[in-house]
Each structure stands twice: as C-alpha cells, then as structure tokens.
Structure 1
C-alpha cells in the first residue's frame, strides 16, 4: 500500500535534513505488537499464520523464549518500557480508559525518549501511545521529537475513531485526517523517518495496534464493523500477517539505508494474546498472570553484536529492554528514578549470563469493571509462585511444566513461602505509588 501523500509531506517538513555527526552509540528500533500471542509467530511454533519476515529477523539474531511483559494489559507495560521501572511505582495498574484525564505517564516523569534525547538521539514514535490524552501527557511532551499515531488503546483501523466515536489519529499535536489501514500507515511513517536518519543516532519506537481488536484485516474496510467480533482465520490471521509485512518493510528500510550494522532492532509484545490468539503451550491469556498473559515472544537483531540464529530461555522483562537501550546509548536515568531492569547485552551477545533474580508481577483490580480478581506472581529461576486474594496459591517448575498444569505447593511449601515473602517485600518497596492522580481521577468520576 502506498502512503497518503499528505502524510509524507508532513514528515518531510518535520524531520531535519541536516543532522549531527554520527555517534558511537547504536540506533535503536523498539517494535511492539499489541495482544500478540506467544505462539502466533512461525519461529515460535505457529502453523496457521505466515510470518516470514519476523522468522527471518529471528534467524538473523536471538529469540527469547522466556521474555515477559511487565503487565498482562497494555498501558502498564508501556509505562514500564518508557520509564524502566515497575509501573506500580507510578500507580498505573490498568489500561488508560477512553479519553480519561489524568491517567498515563505523568508530566513530571522522565521517559526513555526524553533521556535519549538529552543524550543526543533523535526520537520518534509511530503508532499507539496509550499513556495519556491531555496536554502534558502526550508523546511530544515526553521526549518524542516526532509522533504519528493514536493516543488511546485502539481505533477503527480504517476510519481512525475510538469506542467513544472520537477521532484518534495524530501527527504530533494535530489531529490528522487521512485514509489508510493503521498498520500500513504506522509502517509508512516509520520508514519515512528512517530514510532521513543517516548520521545522527535515533530511537524509533514503533507501537502497532495489531492484532488488538477491533478485528479488521487489511481488506475489511467494507465489512460490517464490530469492536469485538471476529474469527481467527477470518481476521486475526490476516492482521498478524499484515503486521509481519509491515515489520519486514521497516527492516528492509534499515538494511537498504546502510543502517543495518549500527542498529539494534527489538520486537516483542505488550502482553499475552486475547481470545483469538494462540498462546500455546502456555496457560491463560491477556489479563491474567498465568504464563499466557505475560510471557510474550521477543526477537533482537544487531549484526556483529548479537550472534545470528541463537536463542535463550533466560527470564527477562520489559524493564530490562529499557535498561539495555540506555546502557547502549551511554545515558543514565535520573538518580531519583533508578531503573528496575538490567542490561541484557551480555546475555544477548552470548558473552555472559544474567544473575538469578526475581521478576515480579501484579495484576490489580480493573477499576472500570470491578470484576477482575487481583493476582500476584514472582518468577525466580525455574520456579514461579502465584497467589490470589481468595487464598489460592500455586507453585510451578516451569522447566518441566511450561503449561502450569501441576501445582507443587504441597510438595514444596517452604519454597512457596519464601517466594511469597519476596512478593511482600517487593510490594512494600513499590507501594505506595509516587503519584495518586489515577486514584483521585477515579474518585472524581464516581462523585460526578
């Protein structure tokens, strides 16, 4: 699909043609799918979806088979990625609601983009933001030099409005009215940005809506529209294959512009797959802390730095990618906002291993529905502990039981108790959050 000429004109005006001298630090492209299932790529065992471009990317780099999103829903994981910290520290524990004020990434917070910008990087976001609607909460106020995409969690892929019937497609601060399938438009913008980034280091965050609902394939513009209805073969497969083509175009733009050897490309998802996804062999789905809700595919490519055709099963988390990018850029987070993740390059390069450290998860109550029970989980090495407010406790040996079918709580209660204690200590550290805007906004809505 050819991008609308209007979009190209805007990009040509916005992106500077004269750039600074090249830096020793690599360019970074962070590509985030939305609600992609763990088993929805060919290189992760899928048989009914063709993903040749992502499979090729995996063959050129490393495949991470125990990569975890920080949350089982979208906004909190995005917050973790852009701050490098557990999202609980900021009090955002569920998805930002449609057009809701004072929800997302607070204006006073620094972000990955703002830190990289200070380190000399040109920064751009193509795609989904989902971290705030209001002025001060938007991408351009959080360090992104350039932004094209939607502010909210999902839009009609062709008509670009959200579930409140509000138009949600922007070019920087201005609403953009154009034609096109959102997956293609996102790739078009990313590629045009790349074509003009020859010398100055850049950070490009490409956050696709696909394959999040509404389930609309690239040929579905005239099909009867529904926000939540669809089938795997009728829409979902085509959405993932369209995503794969879009990623392939972006990678081709890197390679054809002689940026291949100086660019780290990371591909992953914000949480596990929903009802049409394939999370096999994992249990559960989006919105839960079973493996299917939080273990997501990840691929990283950096020729000459990351050995091709490799794989690792070491447990890693979204916040580790933030720490990795900042380390490669020679940039540091503010001293009063220390990172929670670790630099993955020793692991990715095959030159080292990660220390055995716990990875923590909490899925809080959905404040908008009030019918989703809280869960907590921690993974430490091969072991995973999960509990609920109802008193249910689970212990799994993931090396032997990736599908979480055999609860070992009675066989090893001492290990479970130690892991529960780790969770308690972690919660004491991350709570209370630094800001209570979300809680106050919720109270204000209830009092109206």
Structure 2
C-alpha cells in the first residue's frame, strides 16, 4: 500500500450494482496532508469499516456544479470568511475530496469533459476555451452521461447553465437530456437574462421562457420541483448547473446594479457582463452563501421526497476561482493550469452506500465522475468513444485499491500532468517546471533542475496523450 493511500468506510450491500462499466479501476495519486484542505474542525478521515446496508438498487443522481467557485471558497475547505453550512453538512454526510480537479481551466471544456467523460480536446467543440462561436458545440451524435443513462432507463434533466453549444444545432435536448431549463451561454445578467451578446438567454426546452426574477432563485425552484416529482419508478439524473458565483457581481436584491449593467449591454458594451469595474470580496461572499442556501433548499426537497437514501449527490465546480475567490494557498486562478485554476471543491454523498464524515486524498477529476456514475447506474460507455476518466466505484464502494494513473490537462499556452505527488507544468513562459505537491501545494519550489529524469518522463507522458488529441485551430 502506498504511503498516501487512504481507505474509506462504505456500507456493505447485497447483489451487484447493475452492469459493470468498461472503465475498470479508480484513480489514485498522492496528496498533501493538512494543507490540502483539511481545515481545523472539519470531517476527519476514517479507516475502512464495512457495515450491513440495504440491498442495492440503481440510484438517482444529482450532480450539482458551481460556476467559477474556488477550491477554498467553502468553509469546509478552509474559507475564513465565507460560511457554507449546507455544503459543509453535505461533506459531513459523505466524502470530501481534497485533491479534486476540474477537467479544464474554464467553463465549457470542463462541461464537455463531464458530459462525455473524455478530454475536452477529443471533440471540436471542446477546443473552445470557452465557447463563444455559435457554430460549434457538443455534437448530438456523441454519447453523453445523459444519453447513456437514458438508454438504460433513466429520466434525465439539465437545469441551469449548459454552455456546450447553441441552437439550432446544439442543445441538451439533442444530447440525451429529456428536459432542459436554463441558459445556453457562458454568462447572463441575473435578472434580465441578457447574455454576452445582448441576447435573451432563458429557455425551457428549446423555446424562450420569460421570467425576470433572480436567476438562482428560478433554477433552485425548478430543481426542487424535479427532485420532488414522481418519476413513475424510473431512476433519474439531474445535472444542476448554477451560474453562481460567476460574474456579473450581483446578488439577489441588487436591482439598481442590474439595471446599470442592462443599460450598458443595450448600449452595445460587449464587456458589460464582465463587470470589471464592480464586485468586492463582500459581494462575492454574499453570492457564494446564496449558492449554499440554494443547494440546501434542493437537498431539503430531496429529503422530503423520501429519496435521499438512494440518491448519489455530487457537488463540484467547473474550474478554479475568479478574481474575488479565496484560493489560499494555491497559485493561479481560473484559466490557468496552476492549482488555483483547476483544483476544486468536490463532495459525494450516498447514504445507502457510503458512511459520512470522511476525507479522501485520492486525486480525481471531472471525467472520473462520468465513469463512476455510469457504473453505479449499470450503464456501459459506448465502445467507439472510450472514456478518459476512470470509475471510482471500486474504491468508494468495494474497498478496492485504486490504481495510480496520470491526470492530464491542456489549454492554449499551458500544459500540466499530475502523477502521484508530482506535477509537470509549463505555463505561458514556455518553461518546463516540476513540483512536489506533497510539500509544495503552492507550486513555488521548482524541482526541474534537481529531478531532470522525472521531468523528462512526465513531459513525455504529457506529449503522448497530447498526440492523440485534436489540434487547436490556427
């Protein structure tokens, strides 16, 4: 057993969890200890302790995604000023990952990696960082988590931010989600629903839907209704993609600020939504705490429905934090492949199968959850579209020892690969760097000169993966 491996406590069960997916083993690398997200007073790590549980059944799946939420923006991850009691409770009831990563450093490529379970650069739409061109998107012919689960009998819905293409060619309803309520683009003004180009961007299915209330309230209501609904015996998948706390920096009740942003949008200011002259640490705190309350409302509705026990809840972020995020001690922010751009909060809860109050230092990233959820739902990946993520089900549920593997990232001008404790990174300077994350989570002590052989090995591994991906357009 490697020094960084930790065991989890899970509930024993009778029978198999559906059909085994093609993905075979769970990933594992090393992780820092206390500095890597185990704040004082947080959940403590447990040794494996099996206990008798209920017979297995295919679970409902609720996957909640924050938008530009930084790794340390939750109090469960060490934020000194933001209070997130509902997400902290979710962490206490399940497993909190200290070394979890997004599939990329910006919005839409990470969504591609989660929706497909593959590196973003496997598809043309995934090369956009993020999508702005309305001619590209997730092709309806490509299998997704939703289409594969739908084919195996699941009801499927996506509520909130899609950001994987635009109408008429690309939509959740063309990619396996039976229901869609939300926005197509990368950002919108929270009250008017105007997007980056000044277009109205709130839809039910593929038709515009008018509601000028604060957006987070609207999708929270919709999600609460969905998890409370009678699905007539079908298990369900709900992707709940909040835009909070993505800019513009307006909380509920900030109607004057909203009106000013709308005025600028209508006057032709294409950068009005970026809100570079607005926001503050306090406003950001207000937005994150509103996200926490909203998640709490949905989880309360789930509990009242009687489905909590047999629902897998996963919470994560689409990339690292933005300008007001609390990222200490990480370096870098959104759009960078430094830790601050890709390391994210990540929690999983499944009361029927996993004991609570646990912390895992196993490195995971977005495509792993696609593979994991397919396996626990008894669905197979499409053989023509092999997954780049690996299932964590064996590690989480069956006590299997995870296998070590590499985590790979590529964005324009940057590259990164993590193997165990070691991270290979090349930023826009073009200089290869090597960091030992076990003792240097901040990526300040470059070991490239003292570990040249390791650097060369990791660089070669990165280049081998990159050779199989689509090139960026010129």
Instruction: Return the TM-score normalized by structure 2.
Output: 0.82
User: In structure 2, how many angstroms separate the alpha carbons of the residues matched to 1:328 and 1:245?
Assistant: 28
Aligned to 1:83: 116
Q: Which residue of 2 aligns with 1:408?
A: 447
Residue in structure 1 matching 2:146, options 106, 113, 117? 113
Could you tell me whether the CA contact under 8 Å between 1:96 and 1:152 is conserved in 2? no
| Alpha-carbon distance in structure 2 between the residues aligned to 1:154 and 1:389 | 26
2:104/2:411 contact within 8 Å kept: yes
Aligned pairs for 1:232-247 within 5 A: 232-247=280-295
Would the aligned equivalents of 2:131 and 2:164 in 1 still touch at CA under 8 Å?
Answer: no
Pairwise mapping of residues 36-47 of structure 1 onto structure 2 (< 5 A)? Answer: 36-47=69-80
**SS of residue matched to 2:441:** coil
Matched, 1:387 2:426: yes
Q: What is the CA-CA distance between 1:93 and the residue it aligns to?
A: 2.4
CA distance in 1, matches of 2:315, 2:197: 30
**Displacement of 1:389:** 6.4
Q: 2:349 aligns with which of 292, 301, 322?
A: 301
Report what 2:245 is aligned to.
211
Which residue is equivalent to 1:357? 405
**Residues 46-85 of structure 1: matches in 2 within 5 Å?**
46-85=79-118
**Partner Cα distance (1:95, 1:184) in 2:** 28
Matches within 5 A, 1:173-322: 173-198=206-231, 199-223=233-257, 224-225=260-261, 226-227=272-273, 228=275, 229-322=277-370
Match of 1:30 in 2: 63
Measured in 1, the distance between the counterparts of 2:137 and 2:418 equals: 27
- C-alpha distance in 2, partners of 1:72/1:407? 22
Task: Report the Cα offset of residue 429 of structure 1.
Answer: 2.0
Which string of whole-angstrom CA distances, capped at 9 and with x for unpartnered residues, describes residues 415-434 of structure 1? 0000000011111122359x
Tell me the alpha carbon deviations over residues 221-278 of structure 1, each in whole angstroms, 9 at most, x when there is no partner. 2224352233333421111111001100111111111101110000000000011111
Alpha-carbon offset, residue 219 of structure 1: 1.7
The gaps in structure 2 that reach 5 residues or longer are: 1-55, 262-271
Count of residue correspondences: 404
Residues 104-142 of structure 1: per-residue CA shift (max 9 Å, x gap): 202221211111110100000110000111223101111
Trace 1:106-145 onto structure 2 (pairs within 5 A).
Answer: 106-145=139-178
Equivalent-residue separation in structure 1 for 2:437 and 2:97 (angstroms)? 15
1:361-380 alignment to 2 at 5 Å?
A: 361-364=409-412, 374-380=413-419
Measured in 1, the distance between the counterparts of 2:316 and 2:432 equals 29
3-state SS in 2 of match to 1:429: coil
Please provide the CA RMSD for this pair: 1.7
- Matched residues in 2 for 1:131 and 1:415: separation? 37
Contact 2:354 2:396 in 1 (8 A): yes
Q: Indicate conservation of the 8 Å contact 1:159/1:179, yes or no.
A: yes
TM-score, length basis structure 1: 0.87
Q: Offset of 1:404 from its aligned partner?
A: 0.7
Provide the C-alpha distance between the structure 2 equivalents of 1:348 and 1:242, rounded to a whole number of angstroms: 30
**How far apart are 1:347 and its partner, in Å?**
2.9
